Amino acid sequence: MTDRGAGDRALFPPESIVEIKALACELPVRLGLPFSRLSHADIACEAVLRGIVVSISVKSVWRYLHSDAIKPWMHRSWLFPRDPLFGEKAARVLDLYFRFFDGIPLGPDDYVISADEKTSIQARHRKAVGAGPMPHQPRLVEFEYDRMGAWAYLAAWDVHRAKVLGICEKTTGIESYHKLVDLVMQQEPYRSARRVFWITDNGSSHRGESSAKRLSEWYPNAIQIHTPRTRQLAQSD
């Protein structure tokens, strides 16, 4: 039986539905398509070409695939945790978010900073000044711009005070990270805090025990806490 229209829920034989679901599991490259998976339209077209059905709408393909309890044609990418101490390290970070460290509640003069960096941000400068909004008219922004190079943005987020401090630098690295730490630690309340926990990943700017030692040398009340690794590094700390 064929689909008779977009709003018509025509029934197809179970054998045809099974073949359509099997088609959804095929690799697009086998059909000469440069995609990671087939679209509903691709599946509908291929089902007709193979003679599985005389015709079928994209909506019907979606309906049959969507109703399946197990969908082997779908996938989600993820990073498998490779750190043998993943749970322990992750728990330590989560405890800090809930204001605990080593099972003891943080004091009022303890602070938690989550720091990271974003590289290769394109800096653009509009070639003309925009115009502000007017009644019944949105603000105008010049379409053309000049490229001003790529910058790195380093940010420190005070987890419990909902405050972010950041800087833009030409590149990341220990020196740039040091500037971010200075920006935070040289102002109150961090300067006179009892402890300031810095949560970072294992990027090259703040990797391993050497980074933790370096941070404590910069500021004795600063404590480096690393998140667990999700992949192996090419070199050891």
Q: What is the pLDDT of residues 121-174, one digit of tens each?
A: 888 889 999 999 999 999 999 999 888 888 999 999 999 999 999 999 999 999
State the DSSP string of the chain: -----TT------HHHHHHHHHHHTS-GGGGT--SSS--HHHHHHHHHHTTS-S---HHHHHHHHHT-S--TT-----PPP--TTHHHHHHHHHHHHTTEETTEEPPTTEEEEEEEEEEEEEEEEESS--B--BTTB--B--S-EEEEEEEEEEEEEETTTTEEEEEEESS-SHHHHHHHHHHHHTSTTTTT-SEEEEEE-S-GGG-HHHHHHHHHHH-TTEEEEEPPPSS--SS--
- Starting at the edge strand found earlier in the chain, the sheet holding 110-126 runs 163-169, 145-158, 110-126, 195-200, 222-226
CATH 3.30.420 range(s) for the chain read: 86-131+138-226
Phi-psi region at 208: left, alpha or beta (left = phi > 0; alpha = psi -120 to 50) = left
pLDDT above 70 coverage of the chain, percent: 93
- Quote the distance between the C-alpha of residue 100 and its chain's center: 26
For the whole model, what pTM was predicted?
0.68
Which residue's structure tokens are 């987890």?
A: 159
Q: Is the pLDDT of residue 47 over 90?
A: yes
- pLDDT of amino acid 81: 82
CB atoms within 10 A of CB 43: 25
Q: How far is CA 175 from CA 22, 153, 170, 215, 218, in A?
A: 55, 13, 11, 12, 12
The average pLDDT across 48-54 equals 93
The average pLDDT across 206-212 equals 93
- pLDDT of amino acid 191: 97
What CATH code would you report for 86-131+138-226? Answer: 3.30.420
- pLDDT of amino acid 111: 98
Phi-psi region at 136: left, alpha or beta (left = phi > 0; alpha = psi -120 to 50) = left
Q: Is the pLDDT of residue 195 over 70?
A: yes
Binning pLDDT at 50, 70 and 90, where does residue 82 land? Answer: confident
Mean pLDDT of all residues belonging to the chain: 89
- pLDDT of amino acid 2: 46
